[in-house]
């Protein structure tokens, strides 16, 4: 398998899976970053691990539904546990979250090791780094075959899964944008208006869990955490309008998804090395790079812009002879 | 559409004598320490009410408990004769400015329009008419020129006026305001006082946490003197006496500036 067929069967499905995973995470990540709850994405994506593994062990397959169901149960359990630890231990929410999500992640790793002992096809590496290379599309043979609907029906399950989740998140966020904006900005006002802030906040956590679960199989939990935070944080620095921020985060997420894969897969070859880099790692690195650039160069919040304004203010003062 | 929604909330005729707000036995505790103890109070039919008391007297907690934002241990709240949950449309709230993150990427107009989200309904867009109403509310507090400004770029007083405009945009009958005059500039003070007088003349009831005893009598016709329990309540002239002030503020003279 070489040339165009190789690209269509190996690289294209991987790019699609990675990009949709990036887009879903970037989209829901906006509301975590706004509520200064970026760590929540980290917590959720770790806490759902035992549920994913349990779903996998019980069903014995990598089908989406059992793993998703297990993960949602785990997310619920994590929510209850965090609240219990917070109340009984009289500690702040961050501490309770830290204890619960590391504990549940550890439980997930133990379950994986136990599963591996029973020769189950699941290991800790694929949880952390994903298995983009396992996303294969045995359908298209050349570009013209992409015009055939029958070829699209053979699209790999992982791609369909992340695409469905992305469009679900997009639809919900477009439909309830007004409520999400209100609850993220001023939950107390939402409550006095009779719009239940707690319900909407739980909805955000549930969407985060769904996006994280759908994305994690393809790209792993490290990339999930990076994509939940980096594109929205980058977009936040570039605009003061929430709609523009969400749109920009999707743009950044899409560019890092495609760009990171292409750089990882073909970058070293182009430089004359006989190897390629882990695509998920490259995507996460690229998203970090974009965030660093935004921190430096953003028009209003960037380090350079702030320094320029400070210098201009100092010059003004000097000109006035103070 | 507005008419239909409004008809869901029940406002008895003035002659019926049903109070806009009836609080019975409201008790709130944080970590087993009582903050409000058995507070019962009936708001006047209309007018401006100051809630006064020393720091830690539970003034803000009183507003939040009445609005259902903190869970009470005991007590009931009725708005125009019905439980609050069925009358939310009639109640407006101006929280303390520090309660939100002013770096949030929204414009002043976006924030004011939030006051109308319940009228607009779940999953619907903010229509031109609602946007216009929000702009009108901003205009009433002298902030129409700042409609498209991101809220973080406004001064503290301007932010306070945005919150006030948001409450006006709610078109409520009963308002709760948490220290709307605390630490504001002269222009904002004028705007707040204008709005309070407007609401008064429209027959609305406004319950304001107020810290400045010097100005209570100038602005408010009624006072509720609170220190965990209700110390006194009624028309300002009758209730704001030295004896009641001492009973409210205790011996902490620093908390109780003497009346002019």
The answer to whether the CB of A249 falls within 8 A of the CB of A38 is no
Q: What is the largest CA-CA distance in chain A?
A: 80
Token pair listed for A257: 């998804």
CA dihedral over A216, A222, A223, A227, signed as positive or negative: positive
| pLDDT at res. B253 | 46
> How close A242 comes to chain B (CA, Å)?
5
Token pair listed for A18: 């990675």
Average pLDDT over residues A252-266: 92
Number of compact structural domains in chain B: 1
Q: pTM to 2 decimals?
A: 0.85
Residue B24 located in a structural domain: yes
Q: Is residue A280 over pLDDT 90?
A: no
The answer to whether the CB of B127 falls within 8 A of the CB of A198 is no
Q: What is the pLDDT of residues A236-258, one digit of tens each?
A: 999 999 999 999 999 999 999 99
Q: How far is CA B49 from the centre of its chain?
A: 10
The third-level CATH classification (topology) of the domain covering A3-143+150-319 is: ABC transporter involved in vitamin B12 uptake, BtuC (1.10.3470)
Q: Does B234 or A317 have the greater pLDDT score?
A: B234
Is the minimum CB–CB distance between A234 and chain B shorter than 8 Å? no
| pLDDT at res. B86 | 86
| pLDDT at res. B260 | 44
> How close A40 comes to chain B (CA, Å)?
18
User: Helices (H) and strands (E) in chain B — how many of each?
Assistant: 10, 10
Domain boundaries, chain A: 3-143+150-319
> How close B118 comes to chain A (CA, Å)?
6
Is the minimum CB–CB distance between B130 and chain A shorter than 8 Å? no
Q: Is residue A140 over pLDDT 50?
A: yes
Angle between helix A93-117 and helix A38-47 axes, rounded to 10 deg:
30
Give CA–CA dist B93/A286, Å, rounded: 45
| pLDDT at res. A76 | 81
Give CA–CA dist A1/A242, Å, rounded: 46
| pLDDT at res. B127 | 92
Q: Write the burial class of residue A36 (CB in 10 Å: 0-12 exposed, 13-18 middle, 19+ buried).
A: exposed
Q: Can you give the three-state secondary structure of chain A, one letter per residue?
A: CCHHHHHHHHHHHHHHHHHHHHHHHHHHHHHHHHCCCHHHHHHHHHHCHHHHHHHHHHHCCCCHHHHHHHHHHHHHHHHHHHHHHHHHHCCCHHHHHHHHHHHHHHHHHHHHHHHHHCCCCCCHHHHHHCCHHHCCCCCCCCHHHHHCHHHHCCCCHHHHHHHHHHHHHHHHHHHCHHHHHHHHHCHHHHHHHCCCHHHHHHHHHHHHHHHHHHHHHHHHHHHHHHHHHHHHHHHHHHCCCHHHHHHHHHHHHHHHHHHHHHHHHHHHHHCCCCCCCCHHHHHHHHHHHHHHHHHHHCCCCCHHHHHHHHHHHHHHHHHCCC
% pLDDT > 70, chain A? 94
Angle at A229 between CA A185 and CA A254, to 5 degrees: 110
The answer to whether the CB of A185 falls within 8 A of the CB of B114 is yes
Q: Which of the four pLDDT bands, split at 50, 70 and 90, describes residue A94?
A: confident
Q: Does A86 or B141 have the greater pLDDT score?
A: B141
A-facing residues of B in 208-237 (CB < 8 A) are none
B-facing residues of A in 176-195 (CB < 8 A) are 176, 178-179, 181-182, 184-186, 188-195
B68: chain A residues, CB-CB within 8 Å? 191-192
Domain range holding B15? Answer: 2-255
CA dihedral over B183, B188, B189, B194, signed as positive or negative: negative
ipTM > 0.90?
A: no
Give CA–CA dist A33/B149, Å, rounded: 21
B9: chain A residues, CB-CB within 8 Å? none
> How close A47 comes to chain B (CA, Å)?
28
Nearest to A194 among B118, B125, B152 (CB): B118
Nearest to A192 among B88, B125, B152 (CB): B88
| pLDDT at res. B165 | 95
The answer to whether the CB of B227 falls within 8 A of the CB of B249 is yes
Q: Which of the four pLDDT bands, split at 50, 70 and 90, describes residue A88?
A: confident
Give CA–CA dist B197/B96, Å, rounded: 20
A68: Cβ contacts below 8 Å, ≥ 6 apart: A55, A210, A213, A214
A186: chain B residues, CB-CB within 8 Å? 95, 99-100, 114
Q: Across-strand partners of B159? A: none
B122: chain A residues, CB-CB within 8 Å? 176, 179, 195
Q: Does A5 or B81 have the greater pLDDT score?
A: B81
Contact B123 A176 (CB under 8 A): yes
Length of chain B: 260
The answer to whether the CB of B86 falls within 8 A of the CB of B132 is no
CATH number at residue B173: 3.40.50.300
B-facing residues of A in 119-178 (CB < 8 A) are 175-176, 178
- For chain B, list residues with pLDDT below 70: 1-10, 14-16, 251-260
Q: Does B259 or A130 have the greater pLDDT score?
A: A130
- Residue A109: which of A53, A43, A41 has the closest Cα? A53
> How close B90 comes to chain A (CA, Å)?
9
First to last CA, chain A: 74
**The residue to which tokens 């921190």 are assigned:** A295
CA dihedral over A291, A293, A298, A304, signed as positive or negative: positive
The C-alpha R_g of chain B, in whole angstroms, comes to: 18
Q: Is residue A179 over pLDDT 90?
A: yes
Residue B260 located in a structural domain: no
Q: Does A157 or B185 have the greater pLDDT score?
A: B185
B111: chain A residues, CB-CB within 8 Å? 185
- Classify B89 as helix, strand or coil: helix
Q: Does A148 or A200 have the greater pLDDT score?
A: A200
> How close A305 comes to chain B (CA, Å)?
16
Q: What is the pLDDT of residues A7-50, one digit of tens each?
A: 888 889 999 999 999 999 999 999 999 987 777 777 887 888 88
Nearest to A193 among B64, B88, B110 (CB): B88
Of B105, B111, B162, which to mutate for an interface test with A (greatest number of A Cβ within 10 Å)?
B105
Is the minimum CB–CB distance between A242 and chain B shorter than 8 Å? yes
Q: Write the burial class of residue A153 (CB in 10 Å: 0-12 exposed, 13-18 middle, 19+ buried).
A: exposed
| pLDDT at res. A241 | 93
Least confident piece of the model among A14-28, A105-119, A307-321, B109-123: A105-119
Residue B95 located in a structural domain: yes
Is the minimum CB–CB distance between A301 and chain B shorter than 8 Å? no
Is the minimum CB–CB distance between A239 and chain B shorter than 8 Å? yes
Residue B43 located in a structural domain: yes
| pLDDT at res. B31 | 79
For B97, which DSSP code?
A: G
Token pair listed for A243: 């709609």
Q: Is residue A186 over pLDDT 90?
A: yes
B153: Cβ contacts below 8 Å, ≥ 6 apart: none
Residue B214 located in a structural domain: yes
């Amino acid at each position: 398998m070489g040339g165009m067929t190789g690209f269509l069967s190996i690289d294209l499905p991987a790019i699609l899976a990675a990009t949709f995973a990036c887009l879903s995470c970037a989209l829901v990540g906006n509301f975590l970053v706004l509520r200064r709850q970026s760590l929540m994405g980290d917590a959720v994506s770790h806490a759902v691990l035992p549920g994913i593994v349990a779903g996998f062990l019980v069903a014995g397959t990598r089908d989406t539904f059992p793993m998703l169901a297990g993960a949602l149960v785990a997310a619920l359990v994590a929510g209850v546990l965090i609240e219990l630890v917070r109340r009984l231990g009289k500690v702040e929410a961050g501490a309770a979250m830290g204890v619960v999500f590391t504990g549940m992640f550890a439980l997930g790793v133990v379950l994986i090791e136990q599963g591996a002992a029973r020769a189950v096809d699941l290991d800790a590496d694929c949880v952390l780094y994903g298995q983009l290379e396992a996303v294969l599309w045995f359908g298209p043979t050349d570009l013209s075959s992409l015009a055939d609907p029958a070829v699209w029906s053979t699209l790999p399950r992982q791609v369909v899964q992340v695409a469905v989740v992305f469009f679900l998140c997009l639809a919900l966020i477009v439909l309830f944008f007004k409520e999400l904006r209100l609850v993220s900005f001023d939950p107390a006002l939402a409550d006095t208006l009779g719009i239940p802030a707690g319900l909407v906040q739980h909805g955000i956590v549930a969407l985060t869990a769904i996006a994280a679960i759908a994305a994690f199989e393809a790209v792993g939990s490290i990339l999930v955490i990076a994509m939940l935070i980096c594109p929205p944080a980058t977009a936040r620095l570039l605009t003061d309008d929430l709609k523009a921020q969400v749109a920009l985060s999707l743009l950044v997420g899409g560019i890092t998804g495609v760009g990171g894969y292409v750089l990882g897969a073909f970058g070293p070859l182009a430089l004359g090395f006989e190897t390629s880099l882990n695509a998920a790692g490259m995507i996460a690195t690229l998203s970090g790079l974009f965030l660093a650039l935004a921190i430096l160069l953003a028009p209003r919040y960037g380090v350079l812009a702030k320094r320029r304004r400070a210098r201009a203010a100092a010059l003004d003062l000097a000109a006035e002879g103070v | 559409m507005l008419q239909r929604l409004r008809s869901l909330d029940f406002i008895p005729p003035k002659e019926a004598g049903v109070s806009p707000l009836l609080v019975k036995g409201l008790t709130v505790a944080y970590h087993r320490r009582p903050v409000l103890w058995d507070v019962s109070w009936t708001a006047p039919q209309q007018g401006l009410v100051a809630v006064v008391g020393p720091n830690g007297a539970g003034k803000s907690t009183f507003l939040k408990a009445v609005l259902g934002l903190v869970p009470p241990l005991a007590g009931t709240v009725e708005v125009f004769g019905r439980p609050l949950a069925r009358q939310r449309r009639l109640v407006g709230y101006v929280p303390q400015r520090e309660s939100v993150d002013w770096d949030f990427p929204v414009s002043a107009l976006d924030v004011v329009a939030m006051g109308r989200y319940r009228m607009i309904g779940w999953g619907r867009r903010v229509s031109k008419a609602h946007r216009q109403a929000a702009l009108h509310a901003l205009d009433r507090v002298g902030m129409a020129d700042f409609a498209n400004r991101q809220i973080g770029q406004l001064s503290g007083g301007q932010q306070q006026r945005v919150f006030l405009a948001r409450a006006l945009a709610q078109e409520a009958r009963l308002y709760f305001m948490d220290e709307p005059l605390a630490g504001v500039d002269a222009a904002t003070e004028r705007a707040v006082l204008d709005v309070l007088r407007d609401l008064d003349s429209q027959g609305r009831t406004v319950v304001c946490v107020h810290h400045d005893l010097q100005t209570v009598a100038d602005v408010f016709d009624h006072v509720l003197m609170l220190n965990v329990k209700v110390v006194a309540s009624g028309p300002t002239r009758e209730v704001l006496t030295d004896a009641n002030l001492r009973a409210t503020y205790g011996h902490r003279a620093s908390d109780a500036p003497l009346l002019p």
